[in-house]
Structure 1
Amino acid sequence: MNEKIIQEYIKLGQNVDQVFLKQEMDWICEKLLKNIDRFQENFPSACTTNHIYRIKANDDWTNGFWTGMLWMAYQYTKNEAFYDIVMKNIKSFQQRLADHFVLDHHDIGFLYSPSIVMVYRDTQEKSLEKIIVEAADKLLNRFQEKGQFIQAWGQLGNPQEYRLIIDSLLNLPLLYEASKITNNPLYAHKADAHYQQVINHIIRSDYSTYHTFYFDVETGKPDHGATHQGFSDQSCWARGQAWAILGIPLHERITQQKNDESKWTHVFEYFIDKIPQDLIPYWDLCFDDTSHEPKDSSALAIVACGLMEAQKVGYRQDAQMIAKGMIGALSQTYTSSKYKDVEGLLMHGVYAYSENKGVDEENLWGDYFYMEALYRLLNPEWKTCW
């Protein structure tokens, strides 16, 4: 592993103190208040166009990140303006379930964990339990017995879509939450099965990761890995590697099954070995400083949260300090704190390069995980939505 990069992060992390964290949260909450004035009860699009989010209904896989940021802002400021919008958002998420509106995918966890679960853990409001369980039921309906995995996209059983993707590791906590609420182990058992299929097949022998992995629709046997958003089937999409770095210790913390420390360590080291000079990864880890390719700041924000989860389960003692350094690196030139006309928080992200979608723009998950990382550091005992 590139120890020089680790030491550079640790050096930067020494400057990430409580004063810094509060300053970052202050400007973020100020910007979110400004954005609320524009979006009202609607939602920002998944990514910006020319650094401005489009106004949308509750119809995308990313809307939970918006509500999650608003609730963190409420927890931090106690400003009722945040609370009022979150309560309206909750009604919208409840209606989306009732209408089964754009829910034929696996990202139901991304929708309902940062929104409903986060508020539930903070308030213990019993009426939210029904929403959580209903959302988990919709996710569970995508579980394929042949192959023992949750199908990511498309019509169930479609041979062209008989696959999982690495992002799914962050959808599983919703199932574990439903198991706790209902005392029904089925949700957790299916989540466990899917998790095993992800880490057993999507991680390559060199500890890079495929974005997506296919199974045989007739037999359920593992078939082949591929990409959907990475540079190629053989490359390593940066955000995909980041999902693994967060998803593995997250699963071990939830399940109390510490089995994958060695695998996580190698996956993390692969990521670190591909970090360029300015400490921010390119959108695919196959690129280096000679490539002139766009960065994906969101991948580093996700990894920072993953390191804090890793410290919780005892993977490495310096994990939190490395995470602080990553946040320090992002704060220097990758946030919009000095740009009033930029609506997002974390600049220089990539949504889907091959579709020319959100390239060198802000995106909701980048904003969310940057803010989550800050709030984790500010409140070490805070219960995340995962």
Structure 2
Amino acid sequence: MRTIAIEEISKKQEFLETMPLSKEELNQAIQEVLKQIDLNMEYLKDKFPAPATKGLKYPVIDCIEWTDGFWTGMLWLAYEVTGDEKYRTAAEANILTFKHRIENRIEVDHHDLGFLYTPTCVAAYKLTGSEIAKETAIMAADKLIERYQDKGEFIQAWGEFNNPDHYRFIIDCLLNIPLLYWATEVTGDKKYEEIARKHFETSIKYVIRDDASAFHTFYMNHETGEPLRGATRQGYSDDSSWARGQAWGVYGLALNYKYTHEKSIFGLYEGMTNYFLNRLPDDNVCYWDLIFLNEAKQSRDSSAAAIACCGMDEMSKYLSDDNSKIYMGATHNILRSLIHNYTSKMHEAGDPVLFHGVYSWHSGKGVDEGNTWGDYFYFEALVRQAKKWNPYW
């Protein structure tokens, strides 16, 4: 496996001196999340929030977006921390919606089946033993591997399958392939894990740059499978590092280590994580692209910060004590900043949990708004610190 640059962490001492979040801080933050979930349950009823807010309110949609699983994932997290059956009832009703979606192949011709079915159906199976949820998640895994390209050994992200213009993968998919590892675990069929490993190996070979930053997307030659070029669809430029993409890398590497135990992942993780941490502004919540530093006139992406916190927490289970202390200090530091500066104690129906995120800067969608994955990963990061948590991923 390849090696990349590993920068020294410039804020190492600050992170080492960060006080861990107290039980009181975590419990209060979780209670604020639950207040918003309760309001949004009534607001949404049997529907879903759009990917991002508009004017800080979520439009209400059917189950048609790549982001719908995050709302159900929040319901499962709420059930775990409270034991309240109302959250389980709502989440289980959603499972039937996801079952209908995959059976009828409604908006599933893309690689985001992991985002859709891991925090929903895999979570349901792990928490309740639901056979319906298990079968639904396996159907989603079967659909996901249909997008595997033998030439190049990757899962095609979007677009018409085999179309040369869409012959590419993106870094986000590192969070989709845990669905495949799980599918092998529960079925005993190695085909899922084999495709997950091949996609992972292709990703780390091409989408991570030598300096430990990441391309958002990488194009392959549709005739030969040879690498063509890295590019962006979400970041500032092809040469910059989109913050959320870098965070997907941090968490994705940790999750792939969880399943593969490939020790060579440690160097990749440290490189990508240190690069991310070294480009944080004073309050340690990143701008939407890591090319922007202190006092840039740009929007933050709180969702990227929350994703990175989940990744650092996950990987800290496997690192040496010295490294774990630094990354956990960074996790608590960033989370505390999110709690105090990026959430609100004033709640109204349709509001996000986490403010100041960016969906797509180039298209102008969800800029300085809330988004569903930011809400979910913020809640997951809090739950990770508040209890011993078995990841859905």
Q: What is the TM-score with the length of structure 2 in the denominator? A: 0.95
Aligned residue among 156, 174, 180 for 1:175: 180
Contact 1:9–1:326 under 8 Å retained in 2: no
Report the Cα distance in structure 2 between the residues aligned to 1:71 and 1:263, rounded to whole angstroms: 31
DSSP 3-state at the match of 1:359: strand
Identical counterparts, % of pairs: 39
Query: How far off its partner does 1:8 sit?
Result: 3.2
Offset at residue 339 of structure 1 (A): 5.0
The aligned counterpart of 1:5 is: 11
- Which range is displaced more, 370-379 or 316-325? 316-325
Which letter does structure 2 place at the counterpart of 1:210? F
SS state at 1:351 partner? strand
TM-superposed CA distance for 1:202, in Å, is: 0.5
What TM-score does the superposition give when structure 1 sets the normalisation length?
A: 0.96
Residue 92 (structure 2) pairs with residue 87 (structure 1): yes
Structure 2 residue aligned with 1:376: 384
Question: Pick from 324, 338, 359: which aligns with 1:330?
Answer: 338
Q: Which 5+ residue runs of structure 1 have no aligned equivalent?
A: none
Distance in 2 between residues matched to 1:178 and 1:102, nearest whole Å: 21
Asked whether the equivalents of residues 244 and 303 of structure 2 are also in contact (C-alpha less than 8 Å), the reply is yes
Q: Distance in 1 between matches of 2:292 and 2:350?
A: 27
Please give the alpha-carbon distance, in whole angstroms, between the structure 2 residues aligned to 1:243 and 1:250.
10
Matched pairs, number: 384
Alpha-carbon deviations, 1:277-296, whole Å to 9, x = none?
A: 22111101111224311110
Q: Which amino acid aligns with 2:234?
A: Q
In terms of mean alpha carbon deviation, does 22-31 or 98-107 score higher? 22-31
How far apart, CA to CA, are the structure 2 residues paired with 1:2 and 1:344? 35
- Letter aligned with residue 66 of structure 1: W
What one-letter code is carried by the residue in structure 2 that aligns with 1:8? Answer: E
SS of 1:224's equivalent in the other structure is strand
Structure 2 CA distance, aligned partners of 1:7 and 1:69?
A: 34
Task: Report the residue type matching 1:169 in the other structure.
Answer: L
Change (3 A) 1:52 1:9: farther
Contact 1:298 1:369 in 2 (8 A): yes
SS, match of residue 120 in structure 1: helix
Question: For the residues of structure 2 that align with 1:15 and 1:269, how far apart are their CA atoms?
Answer: 20
C-alpha distance in 1 between matches for 2:121 and 2:236: 34
Q: 2:267 aligns with which of 262, 269, 276?
A: 262
Q: Is contact 1:5–1:279 with CA below 8 Å preserved after alignment?
A: no
Rounded to whole Å, the distance in 1 between the matches of 2:312 and 2:372 is 20
SS at match of 2:50: strand
Question: Residues 157-185 of structure 1: CA distance to partner in whole angstroms, max 9, x if unpaired?
Answer: 01110000000000001001111111000
Looking at structure 2, the residues matched to 344 and 137 of structure 1 have their Cα atoms a distance apart, in angstroms, of 33
SS at match of 1:384: coil
Aligned counterpart in structure 1 of residue 203 of structure 2, from 192, 198, 205:
198
For residue 175 of structure 1, give the secondary structure of its aligned residue in structure 2: helix
AA aligned opposite 1:358: G
What SS does structure 2 have at the residue aligned with 1:147? coil
Do residues 294 (structure 1) and 299 (structure 2) align? yes
Q: Give 1:342 shift.
A: 6.7
Quick check: 1:148 aligned with 2:156? Answer: no
